[in-house]
């Protein structure tokens, strides 16, 4: 394993604008040996470094088996992401990782899968969907519930429409506020749970997005006899070091950077209802 505490130079090999504020960067290490060594799991993240400005934690959305580029989907929000947004193919940045524990996908083969995400382009869930779509026959039924604040925030509308056509796959979309012509649900993601045509008590559920959304969803699933060990969620906190040293990402006794970001609901249900932890 190589040094994960100092960045390594990487080159932007591809840039895609996904929406007004969301873009994807495909990256490769300049040192080809690092490309060979670098391995990750869906749900893990990297620290991306912009020269002279700083680092940010960003999830990896590409497939763990495709080694030609490591893809990150990023929303422009502040100091570092604003500079990342301006990068073009050929530009350089720093990268270190991968960090944390990802989704338990390897142990979920043949299971029914429910993915619930809220918020803009929730990257950790994209890694799950991408992973399963490439190995569709290894999993059972798949349902995706995606919620956005405003219908205009939905990215990859075409992809969702394609997935809706697939066998054994259900896609349910919701917007808190919808503009004219939004054909799907207006309201909260939790309101879509009764429409699921899979047995949530047997399925493995993976979630990311606002904590209160994940809490409300988990509670409803438990009422439908899902077990807390079968629900996973991805958490976020401020991160500086990503290796369990700086203390910023503490969530109760856990360090999200190394004990997470993916936790089983059973592990965090004592804390999740309380904001400000």
Contact residues for ligand SF4 (CB under 6 A)? 247, 250
* Cβ proximity to other proteins, 111 vs 258, nearer residue: 258
Minimum CB distance to ligand FAD, residue 171 (Å): 21
Phi, psi of 115 (to 5 degrees): -115, 125
Q: Which of 210, 207, 209, 202 is nearest to 218 (CA)?
A: 207
> Binding of other proteins at residue 101 (CB under 8 A)?
no
> Binding of other proteins at residue 89 (CB under 8 A)?
no
67, two tokens: 């080694």
Q: How many residues bind other proteins (CB under 8 A)?
A: 40
* Cβ proximity to ligand SF4, 54 vs 247, nearer residue: 247
Subset of 37-56 contacting other proteins (CB under 8 A): 49, 51-55
Tell me which of 6, 65, 107, 137 binds other proteins, using CB under 8 A: 6
Asked if residue 232 lies in contact with residue 263, where contact means CB atoms within 8 angstroms, the answer is yes
C-alpha 122/C-alpha 146 separation (Å) is 9
Minimum CB distance to ligand FAD, residue 117 (Å): 12
> Binding of ligand FAD at residue 250 (CB under 6 A)?
no
For the window 208-247, what string marks contact with ligand FES as x by the rule CB under 6 A? Answer: -------------------------------xxxx-xxxx
Asked if residue 122 lies in contact with residue 235, where contact means CB atoms within 8 angstroms, the answer is no
Which DSSP letter does residue 62 get?
S
Minimum CB distance to ligand SF4, residue 246 (Å): 9
Q: Which of 93, 133, 99, 138 is nearest to 115 (CA)?
A: 133
**Phi-psi category of residue 110: left, alpha or beta, with phi > 0 → left and psi -120 to 50 → alpha:** left
Collapsed DSSP state (helix, strand, coil) of residue 72: strand
Minimum CB distance to ligand SF4, residue 255 (Å): 11
Minimum CB distance to other proteins, residue 70 (Å): 17
Number of neighbouring beta carbons within 10 Å of residue 166: 12
* Cβ proximity to other proteins, 98 vs 196, nearer residue: 98
> Binding of ligand FAD at residue 56 (CB under 6 A)?
yes
For the window 32-51, what string marks contact with ligand FES as x by the rule CB under 6 A? Answer: --------------------
Asked if residue 260 lies in contact with residue 251, where contact means CB atoms within 8 angstroms, the answer is yes
C-alpha 95/C-alpha 80 separation (Å) is 13
E-strand stretches of 196-261: 204-208, 231-234, 250-251, 254-255
Minimum CB distance to ligand FAD, residue 79 (Å): 4
Subset of 218-237 contacting other proteins (CB under 8 A): 236-237
Minimum CB distance to other proteins, residue 257 (Å): 9
Q: Which of 260, 242, 240, 255 is nearest to 98 (CA)?
A: 242
Collapsed DSSP state (helix, strand, coil) of residue 260: coil
- Decide which of ligand FAD, ligand FES, other proteins, none touches 186; Cβ closer than 5 to 8 Å per partner kind: none
Would you tell me which residues interact with ligand FES (CB under 6 A)? Answer: 239-242, 244-249, 255, 257
């Amino acid at each position: 394993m190589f040094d994960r505490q100092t960045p390594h130079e990487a080159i932007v090999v591809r840039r895609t604008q996904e929406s007004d504020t969301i873009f994807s960067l495909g990256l490769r290490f300049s040192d080809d040996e690092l490309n060979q060594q670098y391995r990750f799991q869906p749900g893990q993240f990297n620290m991306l470094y912009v020269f002279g400005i700083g680092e940010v934690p960003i999830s990896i959305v590409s497939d763990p088996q495709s080694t030609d580029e490591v893809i990150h989907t990023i929303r422009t929000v502040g100091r570092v992401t604003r500079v990342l947004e301006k990068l073009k193919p050929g530009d350089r940045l720093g990268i270190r990782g991968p960090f944390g524990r990802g989704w338990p996908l390897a142990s979920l083969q043949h299971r029914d899968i429910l993915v619930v995400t809220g918020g803009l382009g929730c990257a950790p869930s994209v890694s799950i969907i991408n992973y399963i779509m490439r190995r569709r026959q290894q999993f059972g039924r798949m349902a995706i519930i995606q919620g956005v604040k405003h219908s205009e925030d939905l990215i990859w509308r075409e992809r969702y429409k394609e997935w809706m056509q697939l066998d054994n796959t259900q896609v349910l979309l919701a917007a808190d506020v919808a503009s004219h012509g939004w054909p799907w649900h207006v309201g909260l993601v939790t309101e879509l749970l009764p429409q699921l045509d899979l047995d949530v008590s047997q399925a493995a559920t993976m979630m990311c997005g606002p904590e209160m959304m994940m809490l409300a969803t988990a509670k409803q699933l438990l009422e439908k006899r899902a077990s807390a060990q079968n629900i996973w969620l991805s958490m976020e906190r401020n991160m500086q070091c990503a290796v369990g040293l700086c203390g910023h990402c503490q969530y109760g006794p856990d360090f999200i950077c190394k004990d997470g970001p993916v936790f089983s609901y059973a592990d965090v249900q004592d804390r999740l209802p309380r904001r400000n932890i």
